[in-house]
């Protein structure tokens, strides 16, 4: 039966209309470009990137940190569905788990992209590698893989039960769900610790970092989920209730407000005394010694986050399903900048010995980043299409291949 499930699932997702093939074709082109620049990196070295001895983490780590938050954001669907028994959320829980799986896969790919020697990846695998339990990076790898496995088990077990028409064993299934909820918080907390435990980087070295990470995760993740849900409602037979979208919008609104408050609080505290420890933030906001590479990034992020927050507070905008995706995209982009380039890079400027060196991502890094995002959306499209096929009954045990592939 399991092999039949996989076979029906694969045959269903491989069939589609012109829009589906055009979308997958575009993603495939970007993936091909990613493979080419990955080949360049592994033959010529990281010299083809804009990374230097002073700034050894850039666009790749920025996306890694952000995507961990997107993965954790899936809990905003799972928690209301299973803890508060929200009916609208319960219908779409598995779609959130598919998003979490795709996001964690992208995180792992950014790890590969950032490795100067991919053959040394095993050093981060507990308990074998030298960076396992003795390093925060090892713990990060551990919790991310655990979260990936949990979501894969819970998500596909639920889909398999729908496929066969048999209920899941709740004595095993529900504890796994509750563990995944707690685990979602752990992945972004440990990722925050990865940065916050560096005393030589004043930009990161504060205990508020995990709280900021959780707040932005619960804004960016649901914002992307809302966009995906509205696309699904428009292009498939699967109807997602307004109640689920409204609840997610409420979560995005208040978590975005908390994230803005925490960011502005840090600005006041760091710049009020204006010690040398605030140089990283000062460089980000106004530039330092005439270098202003990230100033435009910072203010664009602030503008996107503030404007989207205000728009979310307006009921006529928040409840308009044609305007909502635009506002969600603004919030998503603002958090990507603030939590990515606006957080990772200023941690290295100035360096612990006072060097001020700017960082500019090269074409190789941009194409690698676009390719990894394309691969993530490629996987997400396959997972969501198959899941929707099962939820609407197009894929079910005993159905003929022709019926299952409609």
Kindly list the domain boundaries of the chain, sorted by start residue.
2-404
First vs last C-alpha separation in the chain: 21
Residues 6+ apart with CB under 8 A from 379: 101, 102, 105
Q: Which 8-state DSSP code applies to residue 57?
A: -
258-289 residue pLDDT tens: 999 998 998 898 888 888 888 888 998 998 88
User: What class does CATH assign to 2-404?
Assistant: mainly alpha
φ and ψ at 335, to 5 degrees? -70, -40
d(CA 304, CA 279): 24
Q: Which residue has the higher pLDDT, 404 or 196?
A: 196
pLDDT surpasses 60 at 92: yes
What is the CB neighbour count within 10 angstroms for residue 29?
11
Q: Angle formed by the axes of helices 170-196 and 209-235, to 10°?
A: 130
Task: Single out the residue of 181, 153, 157 nearest to residue 169, CA to CA.
Answer: 157
- pLDDT tens digits, one per residue of 302-347: 999 999 999 999 999 999 999 999 999 999 999 999 888 888 888 8
pLDDT of 130: 67
**pTM, to two decimals:** 0.91
The per-residue pLDDT for range 100-142, each reduced to its tens digit, is 999 999 999 998 888 877 777 777 776 776 666 677 777 888 8
Chain center to CA of 231: 18
Where residue 403 falls among pLDDT bands split at 50, 70, 90? very low
Q: Summarize the confidence of residues 39-53 as an average pLDDT.
A: 90
Q: Is the pLDDT of residue 402 over 50?
A: no
- Gap between the Cα atoms of 25 and 329, Å rounded: 23
Taking Cα atoms as reference points, which of 211, 202, 212, 203 lies closest to residue 339?
Answer: 212
- Give the model confidence (pLDDT) of 344-391 as tens digits: 888 888 888 888 888 889 999 999 999 999 999 999 999 999 999 999
Check: CB of residue 255 under 8 Å from CB of residue 216. Answer: yes
pLDDT given at position 301? 93
Contacts of residue 109, defined as CB under 8 A and 6 or more positions apart, other chains included, come to 372, 375, 376
Maximum alpha-carbon separation in the chain: 71
* pLDDT for residue 109: 92
pLDDT band at 401; cut points 50, 70, 90: very low
* Gap between the Cα atoms of 51 and 48, Å rounded: 8
**pLDDT the model gives residue 384:** 93
Rounded distance between C-alpha atoms, residue 157 and residue 155, angstroms: 6
Q: What CA–CA distance (Å, rounded) separates 242 from 219?
A: 18
Give mean pLDDT, residues 138-166: 89
The pLDDT of residue 405 is above 60: no
C-alpha closest to that of 74 among 88, 55, 94 = 94
Instruction: Identify the three-state secondary structure at position 115.
Output: coil
């Amino acid at each position: 039966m399991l092999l039949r499930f996989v076979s029906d699932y694969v045959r269903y997702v491989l069939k589609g209309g012109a829009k589906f093939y055009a979308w997958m074709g575009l993603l495939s082109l970007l993936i091909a470009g990613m493979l080419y620049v990955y080949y360049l990196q592994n033959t010529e070295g990281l010299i083809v990137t804009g990374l230097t001895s002073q700034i050894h983490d850039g666009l790749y780590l920025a996306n890694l940190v952000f995507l961990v938050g997107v993965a954790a954001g899936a809990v905003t669907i799972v928690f209301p569905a299973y803890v508060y028994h929200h009916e609208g959320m319960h219908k779409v829980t598995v779609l959130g788990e598919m998003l979490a799986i795709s996001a964690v896969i992208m995180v792992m790919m950014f790890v590969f992209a950032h490795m100067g020697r991919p053959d040394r990846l095993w050093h981060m695998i507990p308990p074998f590698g030298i960076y396992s339990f003795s390093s925060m990076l090892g713990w990060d790898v551990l919790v991310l893989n655990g979260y990936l496995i949990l979501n894969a088990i819970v998500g596909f077990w639920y889909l398999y039960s729908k496929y066969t028409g048999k209920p899941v064993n709740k004595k095993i299934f529900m504890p796994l769900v509750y563990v995944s909820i707690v685990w979602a918080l752990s992945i972004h907390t440990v990722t925050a610790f990865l940065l916050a435990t560096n005393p030589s980087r004043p930009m990161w070295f504060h205990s508020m970092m995990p709280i900021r990470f959780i707040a932005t995760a619960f804004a960016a993740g649901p914002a992307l989920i809302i966009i995906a849900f509205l696309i699904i409602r428009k292009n498939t037979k699967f109807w997602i209730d307004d109640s689920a979208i409204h609840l997610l919008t409420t979560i995005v609104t208040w978590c975005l407000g908390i994230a803005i408050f925490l960011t502005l609080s840090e600005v006041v505290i760091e710049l009020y005394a204006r010690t040398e420890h605030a140089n990283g933030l000062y460089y980000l906001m106004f530039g330092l010694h005439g270098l202003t590479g990230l100033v435009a990034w910072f203010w664009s992020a602030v503008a996107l986050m503030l404007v989207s927050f205000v728009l979310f507070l307006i009921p006529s905008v928040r409840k308009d399903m044609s305007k909502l995706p635009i506002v969600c995209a603004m919030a998503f982009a603002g958090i990507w900048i603030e939590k990515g380039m606006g957080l990772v890079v200023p941690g290295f400027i100035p360096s612990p010995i006072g060097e001020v060196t700017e960082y500019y991502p090269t074409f190789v890094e941009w194409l690698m980043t676009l390719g990894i995002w394309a691969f993530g959306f490629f996987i997400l499209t396959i997972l969501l299409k198959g899941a929707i096929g099962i939820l609407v009954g197009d894929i079910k045990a005993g159905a003929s291949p022709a019926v299952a592939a409609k």
